[in-house]
Amino acid sequence: MTGDYNPIHLDEIVARRTQAGAPIVHGIHALLWLLDVIAARHPEIGVLASLNVRFAEMIYVGDRAEAEIRKLTADTLRARVCADGIEMIGLSAKRGAVECTTRRLAVSAGLISRPTVPRELALQDIEGQSGRIAFAAGAAALEREFPHAARLLGPTRLAAIGSSTALVGMIVPGLHSVYGGLELRFTRDPDTADELRFRVTSVDRRFRRVLLAVEGGGLEGVVEAYCRVPPVAQPSMQSIAPLITRDEFKDAIALVVGGSRGLGEITAKLIAAGGGKAILTYATGKADAERLAREIRDWGACCEVMAYDVRQDAHRQLQHLASPPNHLYYFATPLIVRRKPDIFLRERLDEFNQFYLDGFLNLIDAALRLRPQGVTAFYPSTVAIDDRPAKMTEYAMSKAAGEVLCADIARYRHGVRIITHRLPRVATDQTASLIEVESKDAMSVMLPIVRQMHHSAGAGGEPATTLRVG
C-alpha cells in the first residue's frame, strides 16, 4: 500500500541481522491505525492542522498494540500506541484550520522511479539528496484500510504520509534506515500531483541522523530518520589466514554452536584457517551458515554445517556426527537487548537460562557421550555482569549463573575443561545500535581464546577447571 518493501519489515533472516533482531511493523502503518482509531472514537475531532509523531520503539510483528488517547481538548490531541505497557509511538496534533502552503520545496527535477529493492546509501552519500516520488500504486487501499483516518486527514494526505515510509525505507536513507518521527503541517496545496517532494536538509554524522523536508499531497514538514550502522561484516578467510600459523589448530574438531555469524563465524574461520575442522551450527540462519561454509571450503579448509537448536535434545541432534568434537564453542543466544516494562521479567530470565544454562549443560553431556575421554569447551560470559547496562538485568543474571554452572560442570563432570571469559562489547549483530558505539572486533577477542582452548586441550596433568581471563 505504501511501496516500502524494506526487508526489516518482511524478511526474518535480514531483520535478524539488524538492531531489531526480528521483523518489525512499519511505524507509519501503526500511526495510520492510531489515527483511524482516534477518528473512529471521536468523529467530532474535525480538522487537524498539524501532526507531530515520534516513533519511540520498534513494534514487532505479532506484538499486541493498544491505542490510547491521552488528551483531547479544543485545540490539542495527544495519543499513543503502546505495547507491553511501553510507548511505541507518541503523537501530538493541533486541531484547527488548514492554511495554504507557504512555500515550494526546491528539489531535483526528476521523478524517482520506485526501487523494488531499497537503495543502500552510505552516510556521506545522503547529503544533498532530493527528488520527487509518486504515491504508491496501492495508495487507494490505504483509504479502504483506514477509512476514519482518511475522513480525518483526507485520502491524499493519507497517501502522502504513507509515501513517507517508502521515502525513508527505500530511497533515503534506504536499506539501513530507521524512521524516527515526523513533524507535519497540513496545507491546502494547489498542486494536485500525487507525489511527495523531498530534500535532505541535515545530516548529523554523530548520530547518523537525517532530516528531510517533505511536501506534497496537502502537507509539508520534516521527516526525521536515522541511517543504521550496517550489519557487521567479519574478516574474510584471506585476511585471517596470515595471522594463523599453518596447522596451528590441526587437532581441533570444533563444534561451533551459533556459528553462522558474529563470534561464531570468526571462531569457525580461525579454526579452519589453522587446519582444524569446524562444524558450525545454526538455528535459523541457514543461509548465513551455508554462505560461511562455502567461503571456508572455497579457501581450501574443512567445514561442516548442521542445524542445531539448543532448546531441543542435544544427543538426538549430535549422535550422527561422523567425528565427535573435542572442542565446543557455545555462542547460542536469544535476542539480548529488547524493550521491557520493568527492570526484571521472569520470563526473560527463563528464556536466557534455557539458552545459557540448560542448553549448555545438555551440550556438554551429549558431547561426553560421543567422546567419553573428554572435551574442552568455551563459554562466553560478559562484562555486563559488572557494567550492568540498561535493560540487561536478566542477561547479566543468567550469565553469572552460567559462570557458576561452568565451575561445577568442570568439578563434577570427568574430563571436561571449560574456559570462560567475561567478553567486552564486541561488534556483532547483537550489539548493533542506532549509532556507533565503541566495541572490540571479534577477531582480536577470539584469536587468543581459540589459542587458549587449543593449549588447554593439549595440556597434561590435572585437567584445568575454569580458567578465566578478563
Partner 1 sequence: MKDDEVLTRLSSLIGDLLELDDLKLSMTTTAQDVPGWDSLAHVRIVLAAEQAFGTRFTTGEIASLKTLGDLVKLIEAHSRS
Using CB under 8 A as the criterion, which residues of the chain lie in contact with partner 1 when the complex forms? 54-57, 78, 87, 90, 92, 180-181, 204, 206-207, 209, 390, 433-435, 437-438
Q: How far is the CB of 281 from partner 1 (least distance, A)?
A: 32
Q: How far is the CB of 408 from partner 1 (least distance, A)?
A: 33
Question: Angle, to 10 degrees, between the axis of helix 359-370 and the axis of helix 393-412?
Answer: 30
Kindly tell me which of 40 and 56 has the beta carbon lying closer to partner 1.
56
Cα angle, residue 344 at apex, residues 338 and 349 outer, rounded to 5°:
75
Kindly tell me which of 385 and 467 has the beta carbon lying closer to partner 1.
385
Kindly tell me which of 205 and 411 has the beta carbon lying closer to partner 1.
205
Q: How far is the CB of 34 from partner 1 (least distance, A)?
A: 16
Q: How far is the CB of 161 from partner 1 (least distance, A)?
A: 19
Q: How far is the CB of 206 from partner 1 (least distance, A)?
A: 5
Kindly tell me which of 19 and 163 has the beta carbon lying closer to partner 1.
19
Q: How far is the CB of 410 from partner 1 (least distance, A)?
A: 36
Kindly tell me which of 225 and 293 has the beta carbon lying closer to partner 1.
225
Q: How far is the CB of 328 from partner 1 (least distance, A)?
A: 35
| Whether the Cβ atoms of residue 37 and residue 29 lie closer than 8 Å to each other | no
Q: How far is the CB of 208 from partner 1 (least distance, A)?
A: 9
Kindly tell me which of 151 and 340 has the beta carbon lying closer to partner 1.
340
Kindly tell me which of 178 and 272 has the beta carbon lying closer to partner 1.
178
Q: How far is the CB of 361 from partner 1 (least distance, A)?
A: 33
Kindly tell me which of 19 and 362 has the beta carbon lying closer to partner 1.
19
Q: Which grid cell sits at 71?
A: 488528551
| Whether the Cβ atoms of residue 192 and residue 178 lie closer than 8 Å to each other | no
Kindly tell me which of 29 and 54 has the beta carbon lying closer to partner 1.
54
Q: How far is the CB of 288 from partner 1 (least distance, A)?
A: 26
> What distance in Å separates the CA atoms of residue 126 and residue 202, rounded to the nearest whole number?
9
Kindly tell me which of 74 and 390 has the beta carbon lying closer to partner 1.
390
